[in-house]
Chain A
Amino acid sequence: MKYMMLVCTDTEPDTDPSPEPDIYAWVAENDARGRRLDGHQLAPQTAATTVRVRNGELLVSDGPFAETKEMIVGYDLLECADLDEAIEVARTHPMARGGRIELRPFAVFD
């Protein structure tokens, strides 16, 4: 099962003073176990461009579709047996504490 893991900021990060896990170690471990297929940090929202087509007309605008305080700053594509395994992978990402992680399963077609 593939899960898109959206890495987001959060206005209320963890206040636990213990050091956050290391992102490089996280990537190395999950790549080695075949649970992370791909992933990258994204450039800031100021670099975002929104594209729409309405009645055949191309509409291009600056910025993200919705201005929110919690923004997507990166993604990882996971391959996991089930949601519990995906949660285990997400919980050890440093941004689970510095921000928040959203797990979106790939849609399944019968």
Chain B
Amino acid sequence: MTDRARPPTGAAAAAEEPAAAGGRDAVVDAAAAAARDAVVEAAAAAARESHAQIVATLIRVTGDWTLAEDCAQEALVQALQRWPADGVPANPAGWLTTVARNRATDVLRRATVERRKLRELATLAPTEDAAPRAGEEEVVDDRLRLIFTCCHPALALDARVALTLRTICGIPTADIARAFLVTESTMTRRLTRARTKIADARIPYAVPAGPALAERLPGVLAVLYLLFTRGYDDGGGEPAFADEAIRLARLLDDLMPGQPEIAALLALFLLQHSRRHARRDAHGDLVPLDRQDRARWDHAAIAEALSVLSRAGEDGPYALQARIAACHATAPSFDATDWPAIATWYDALAHRSPSPVVALNRAVAHGYAHGPAAGLALLVEARAGGALDGYPLALAAEADLTARAGDRERAAALFRQAAAETHAEPERRALLDRARELFP
């Protein structure tokens, strides 16, 4: 963005403030602009609320993914055209559903499809409840079908994430492309390929039943987790994706109550998200956990997470991560954290779903809980096989443990080595600062 394109601010804006005589138009314009903003916001909120339902139902009835997405998009465009003049309707989501349904009916009528589809389409009531009605448990929510189909393991993982964002969340293809660091046409092709595979291989539009559900649910949660972490990627992160992941986890938790790992994932998201305002300083640099201002954490989100966590079970991989995050979230300070409890949960996590990063975090936790020697011993284990070679966080962890064990000179050298492996400038600087503090 160039300076010229930026709206005038501060003194410059005051200087451009129109004189009293010409001011009335400006006031009217400002009021109109505010009204327009309110309409756009109402339309966006209604679209967020109803998008998945509209698309999911249109896909079930028509079997046509592109048609469903286009009709939902068309409804939003019409809302933005008509609501500024007509006013926001009493039931915005119902309005969007009706327009999308009518649009689909028009298209299908022109294509002279079977009468059955049109009849079914007509039964898609504009005020259809989002939540499943009591006593109708056997009715599977269309949104649930859509989620399981978008996250089907027969699709490539990238395609699953992209399709979830596009079809369920209604994120524009251009925004998804930017987050994946590809061009819009590449992303369009990727989405088309995924929809074609669904049709050609006949991936069912269904929620798996019986034992298959337990096999497939972790894959769905993995897509949500990836979506969430995309929101936090340094540099190319799309913060909106984290919000979408939370909305989807909430939806899943509503639609499939009694699944402890869904509750665990939602709690984990809420806890990690509760630190979003404290994770970066005024310059946008990453602030490590021990230096975050805990007053800036979102305590309402933490309270909700703790309540959700009570339904999350004990030993699922997301439950263990959520418990660790909850322990941090409720600790009065970094030093007053219950490290022995965190170390125990990392032991369980390392046993349940081992990975090099879990092993590293386990070593760090044991270092705080049981002394630097215990941490260093586990770090040696974590590094066996070379999985953490050249990983700056492993070097920084070793440096920190070495410093606390008393060898300042070696710790400083390790911090410098970690800095050399780190690409992000602020993190690099922070590591060099620590080296200088220890051994100038």
Contact A83 B206 (CB under 8 A): no
Stretch from B196-204, B292-300, B345-353, B421-429 at the A interface? B196-204
CA distance A84 to B212 in the complex (A): 9
Contact A82 B203 (CB under 8 A): yes
Please name all residues of chain A whose beta carbon is closer than 8 Å to the beta carbon of B212 when the two chains form the complex: 84, 88
Cβ distance A80 to chain B, nearest Cβ, rounded Å? 8
Cβ distance B123 to chain A, nearest Cβ, rounded Å? 24
Cβ distance B155 to chain A, nearest Cβ, rounded Å? 11
Which residue in chain B gives the minimum CB-CB distance to A91? B215
Contact B200 A107 (CB under 8 A): yes
A70-104 interface code vs B (CB 8 A; 1 in, 0 out) = 00000000000111100110000000000000010
Please name all residues of chain B whose beta carbon is closer than 8 Å to the beta carbon of A88 when the two chains form the complex: 212
B256 at the interface (CB under 8 A from A): no
Contact B208 A83 (CB under 8 A): no
Cβ distance A101 to chain B, nearest Cβ, rounded Å? 13
B154 at the interface (CB under 8 A from A): yes
A48 at the interface (CB under 8 A from B): no
Task: Pick the most buried of A81, A105, A107: most chain B CB atoms within 10 A of its CB.
Answer: A105
Binding site secondary structure of chain A = mixed
Contact B204 A84 (CB under 8 A): yes
Size of interface on B: residues with Cβ below 8 Å to A: 11
A37 at the interface (CB under 8 A from B): no
Cβ distance A60 to chain B, nearest Cβ, rounded Å? 33
Which residue in chain B gives the minimum CB-CB distance to A108? B200
A1 at the interface (CB under 8 A from B): yes
B127-170 interface code vs A (CB 8 A; 1 in, 0 out) = 00000000000000000000000001010000000000000000
Partner of A84, one of B199, B200, B206: B206
B202-217 interface code vs A (CB 8 A; 1 in, 0 out) = 1110101000100000
Partner of A105, one of B201, B206, B208: B201
B170-188 interface code vs A (CB 8 A; 1 in, 0 out) = 0000000000000000000
Which residue in chain B gives the minimum CB-CB distance to A85? B204
CA distance A109 to B200 in the complex (A): 10
Partner of B204, one of A83, A103, A105, A107: A83
CA distance A103 to B208 in the complex (A): 19
Please name all residues of chain A whose beta carbon is closer than 8 Å to the beta carbon of B154 when the two chains form the complex: 83, 87
CA distance A1 to B206 in the complex (A): 16
Cβ distance A102 to chain B, nearest Cβ, rounded Å? 12
Cβ distance B15 to chain A, nearest Cβ, rounded Å? 65
Cβ distance A83 to chain B, nearest Cβ, rounded Å? 5
Please name all residues of chain A whose beta carbon is closer than 8 Å to the beta carbon of B204 when the two chains form the complex: 81-84
CA distance A15 to B201 in the complex (A): 30
CA distance A82 to B203 in the complex (A): 6
Which residue in chain A gives the minimum CB-CB distance to B154? A83
Q: For chain B, residues 195 to 249, give those with C-beta under 8 angstroms from any C-beta of chain A.
A: 199-204, 206, 208, 212
Contact B200 A103 (CB under 8 A): no
Please name all residues of chain B whose beta carbon is closer than 8 Å to the beta carbon of A103 when the two chains form the complex: 201
Cβ distance B204 to chain A, nearest Cβ, rounded Å? 4
Task: Pick the most buried of A81, A87, A88: most chain B CB atoms within 10 A of its CB.
Answer: A87
CA distance A95 to B199 in the complex (A): 27
Please name all residues of chain B whose beta carbon is closer than 8 Å to the beta carbon of A87 when the two chains form the complex: 154
Please name all residues of chain A whose beta carbon is closer than 8 Å to the beta carbon of B201 when the two chains form the complex: 83, 103, 105
Residues of A within 8 A of B (CB): 1, 81-84, 87-88, 103, 105, 107-108
26 A-B residue pairs with CB within 8 Å: A1-B202, A81-B204, A82-B202, A82-B203, A82-B204, A82-B206, A83-B152, A83-B154, A83-B201, A83-B202, A83-B203, A83-B204, A84-B203, A84-B204, A84-B206, A84-B208, A84-B212, A87-B154, A88-B212, A103-B201, A105-B200, A105-B201, A105-B202, A107-B200, A108-B199, A108-B200
Residues of B within 8 A of A (CB): 152, 154, 199-204, 206, 208, 212
- With A1-B202, A81-B204, A84-B212 known, 20 other A-B pairs at CB within 8 A are A82-B203, A82-B204, A82-B206, A83-B152, A83-B154, A83-B201, A83-B203, A83-B204, A84-B203, A84-B204, A84-B206, A84-B208, A88-B212, A103-B201, A105-B200, A105-B201, A105-B202, A107-B200, A108-B199, A108-B200
